[in-house]
Amino acid sequence: MSPASTTAGRLPRPEMILPPGWQLFPVTDDNAATARAAFAGAWDSGPRDSIGPFVHELERTLAAALDDARETGAFAAAMPMGIPWQVPVSTSLVLSHVAAPDPELPPGGERVDTDAGPARRGIRDEQHPGDADPESVVLLRSIDYIWRVPGHDAYLVAYASISGLPVAEYAPVTEALTTLMTTMLDALTWPAAGGEA
């Protein structure tokens, strides 16, 4: 799929309910500025000389994640920004518009009813070689939803990834995060007015 052109009109951006500690970030050409703003308050948590390297690493990591999202054509990304997980499994979500001359939803996945209308949903467990390093973070599961953008020749694509250590004991965390992401995406809605890309 190719990114949707907005030259003929602005595309509506969905509204989402985010869990506590999550933030929705715009994906732009200057994601470093977004990352600096996101962690501006962190400078108050300690002496600048000791907290500085930690804050700069947080900024670098967030900017890199948003740059990766930009490379896929995303316009927004949501991720947990609160207290770190107590287990090495986490998730994030990116949102993109892609061109869709076909008025139907694409084939594949299961058809689901969401608050934003019908969607196609796919949930895939990622396979890893039997000798995968259990200390390396890998993609464990991916979740995608595709909706028609009302009144436009475009799809809205939501892609969530769940990454962590490929350890069987953490499987319940992957299941819980899958429930969280599908609940968030099932509840996504279109703006009543405005909210354009």
Q: How confident is the model at residue 193 (pLDDT cuts 50, 70, 90)?
A: low
| Residue from 196, 4, 1 nearest 97 by CA | 4
Q: Is residue 133 pLDDT above 90, yes or no? A: no
pLDDT tens figures, 64-84:
999 999 999 999 999 998 666
Three-state secondary structure string covering 170-185: HHHHHHHHHHHHHHHH
d(CA 150, CA 146): 12
Q: What is the DSSP string of 51-66?
A: HHHHHHHHHHHHHHHH
Q: What are residue 41's phi and psi, to 5 degrees?
A: -70, -15
Residue 3 — very low, low, confident or very high, per pLDDT cuts 50/70/90?
Answer: low
Question: Per residue in 23-57, pLDDT tens?
Answer: 999 999 999 999 988 888 777 676 776 677 777 88
For 104, residues 6+ apart whose C-beta sits below 8 A from its C-beta are 148
Helices then strands, each counted (H, E), the chain: 3, 7
Q: Read off the pLDDT of residues 135-184 as tens digits, 9 standing for 90 and up.
A: 788 999 999 999 999 999 999 999 999 999 888 888 999 999 999 999 99
Q: Could you tell me the pLDDT band of residue 11, with boundaries at 50, 70 and 90?
A: very high
